[in-house]
Structure 1
Amino acid sequence: MKHAPSLDDLELFALVGQAGGLAPVSRQRGVSVPTLSRRMRALEGQLGWQLFERGPQGYRLTARGRALLDETEGLRAEARRVRQLAAEPAPVEVRITAGSWTSAYLAAQLPRFWQVQAGWRPSFLEASARLDIARRGADIGIRNQRPQQSWLAGRRTARISYAEYALSDSVQGYVALREGAVETPSSAWVRAQHGEDITVTASTPRMLADLACTGAGRVVLPRFAALLFPVLQQVSPEIGALAHEEWLVSHHEARHDPPLRAALDSLAAVLTDPDLRRGLVAPD
């Protein structure tokens, strides 16, 4: 045997053997009868076996042919599986941009709003700065205000409230983002109201919360985000100056695409669930 036979040729051989002729396989696989005939002859030459008895009644398997048919069942089953996978459309990537705490919340709730078999695949883009949905920098944005542009569509999901958190109410001082980091409204509020009391700075909101968990100071968090840190307790009233609406935003035309529509509906379900987001005030 000069060369190992191809899986495709073995599959065609099995189809011809099961059909008892070339014509049915030609119609099924879109391969001409002369081509099938040549490939079966070539396969016999490669193996050094006569696989068929050819006659007026068609192609009948020889003993060698029947043995080969039995031996190749596993290979043929694998070929069918691969062909089925190739025929299935790949899930559409949906890019979702949100701030640090909303991104963390969505990551924690992922099994509630997405499964592998869904027709879309989430791609999370954590960003304090807004990505341009109109220019397709992202497909879905979770924003802190209603979209003003006519080409954007929005759905209000909640009103988000903030408070100070620490290991206990005896903790003094505050943690805040370092100068030069992308500023957030909560960190800006800390600097404006308690600038002289800042004890430690860091480059990300997540690190601020981690520092607060060590007792380094108080941290200002969205109340739903504080649920990620069970050791922290609320040590201030709600901070009214930081409360804001939350909006689920997408391009007004693209939102009708089935994958994007499915993603929007799934995200809305977890963003509006008050049992999942304690501290969230449902919209009127």
Structure 2
Amino acid sequence: MDLNALTDFALVATNGGLGKASRASGKSKATLSRRIADLEEQLGVRLIERGARGLKLTEAGEMLMARTEGPMHEVTEAMTAVREGLSAPRGRLRIASPALFSQLAMGKICARFCAAYPEVTVEVMAEDRMVDLVEEQFDVAIRINPSADSSLVGRCFAKDRLVVVAAPSVRKPASGAVRSVPAIVFSSFQPTNWTLDDGRLVLDPDPRLRLSSFLMIRDAAVAGAGAALLPQSIAWDHLTRGDLVQWGTVSGVEAALWVLHTSRRLPSPKVRAFVEFLCAQYPEASLVLG
């Protein structure tokens, strides 16, 4: 298959017509039309319908575009890098990151990254939803415990534990039977026990406060409102200062943070650099010290 024909098909499909594609690329409309016709002839299917109101992708055209857009982007970046000799990362890097991790860590991390790679500009979107990297044009996504997705690859760069904490003024129950405790929970909390340290302590949280963020829950716990279930990294500073006391670790639960991207074999220099840089920020693969 002619790679040029496939490239020109994607160019026309992306721009929504021969005229716009011609102006964007400098190629003549006749050349673009001929290459698309050649591609249709090779595949034996119609890719674009030509009507009075412009061009419209057929079902086969939409399928071809969906399956080749990512790989074609990788090939284009790779060819550009080779042609221009780009050994240093450069250009805009768009990152989707969970809101809490963004608020607590991404500002400092991105500042250090930009200092190390001054030819890269970084844009971070704090997004808890599952963004579509290709459709929304993100280079990288940071996700917590991501599900298996054959279209994404990456590395786990840090792990966190869930712990129950409370202010020193809140009395910790003795081990044994299930113990009821005043608790600060998420707004969406459903009744469930907190099993700590392989069952040595089981707590029945009695919600006194329902809040919508970990930071609010942590601050309410510091103020003595009750026990709270938090990622250890969020409570770490307060634990080291003595503002909070750790009652135990939730058994069998771990939050793993992954940095993911779409390129399997040909990640761009800026993506490769950011993945390596982010992993280097957590050499012990832990979000907490110790």
Runs of 4+ in 1 over 6 A off after TM superposition: none
Q: How far does residue 200 in structure 1 lie from its aligned partner after superposition?
A: 0.8
1:82-97 equivalence runs, <5 A: 91-97=91-97
* 8 Å Cα contact 1:147/1:154 also seen in 2: no
Counterpart AA for 1:204:
S
**Number of residue equivalences:** 182
User: What is the aligned counterpart of 2:208 among 184, 199, 218?
Assistant: 199
1:244-283 equivalence runs, <5 A: 244-253=255-264, 256-273=267-284, 277-278=288-289
User: What is the aligned counterpart of 2:251 among 234, 240, 244?
Assistant: 240
Matched residue of 1:115: which SS?
A: helix
Residue 227 (1) aligns with residue 218 (2)? no
Q: 1:99 to 1:120 in 2, by over 3 A?
A: same
Matched residue of 1:95: which SS?
A: strand
TM norm structure 2: 0.52
Residues in 2 aligned to 1:220 and 1:116: alpha-carbon distance in whole angstroms: 37
Matched residue of 1:235: which SS?
A: strand
Residue by residue, what CA displacement relative to the aligned partner does 1:196-250 show, whole Å, maximum 9, x if unpaired? 5111112222211121221122222222222343454342221124214332211
Residues in 1 aligned to 2:219 and 2:268: alpha-carbon distance in whole angstroms: 40
TM norm structure 1: 0.53
Residues in 2 aligned to 1:178 and 1:243: alpha-carbon distance in whole angstroms: 21
1:211-222 equivalence runs, <5 A: 211-222=220-231
Counterpart AA for 2:250:
I
Structure 1 segments unaligned to the other structure (5+ residues): 1-88, 180-186, 280-284
User: What is the aligned counterpart of 1:175 among 168, 179, 184?
Assistant: 184
Counterpart AA for 1:128:
D
Counterpart AA for 1:266:
F
Counterpart AA for 2:213:
T
Between Structure 1 and Structure 2, the one with more strand by share is 2
Residue by residue, what CA displacement relative to the aligned partner does 1:89-136 show, whole Å, maximum 9, x if unpaired? 985132231251464133355554442862323333333332222433
Residue by residue, what CA displacement relative to the aligned partner does 1:157-189 show, whole Å, maximum 9, x if unpaired? 23321111222272552211214xxxxxxx66x
> Which residue number in structure 2 is paired with residue 76 of structure 1?
none
Matched residue of 1:121: which SS?
A: strand
> Which residue number in structure 2 is paired with residue 150 of structure 1?
150
Q: 1:196 to 1:98 in 2, by over 3 A?
A: closer
Q: 1:105 to 1:264 in 2, by over 3 A?
A: same
* 8 Å Cα contact 1:139/1:250 also seen in 2: yes
Q: 1:206 to 1:262 in 2, by over 3 A?
A: same
Counterpart AA for 1:214:
A
Counterpart AA for 2:272:
R
> Which residue number in structure 2 is paired with residue 120 of structure 1?
120
Residues in 1 aligned to 2:93 and 2:268: alpha-carbon distance in whole angstroms: 12
* 8 Å Cα contact 2:96/2:141 also seen in 1: yes
Q: 1:110 to 1:273 in 2, by over 3 A?
A: farther
Residues in 1 aligned to 2:266 and 2:225: alpha-carbon distance in whole angstroms: 44
Counterpart AA for 2:140:
I
Residues in 1 aligned to 2:102 and 2:245: alpha-carbon distance in whole angstroms: 19
1:96-111 equivalence runs, <5 A: 96-101=96-101, 103-111=103-111
Q: 1:139 to 1:195 in 2, by over 3 A?
A: farther
Bigger CA radius of gyration: 1
Matched residue of 1:277: which SS?
A: coil
Q: 1:196 to 1:240 in 2, by over 3 A?
A: closer
Q: 1:242 to 1:150 in 2, by over 3 A?
A: same
* 8 Å Cα contact 1:103/1:124 also seen in 2: no
Residues in 1 aligned to 2:279 and 2:169: alpha-carbon distance in whole angstroms: 35
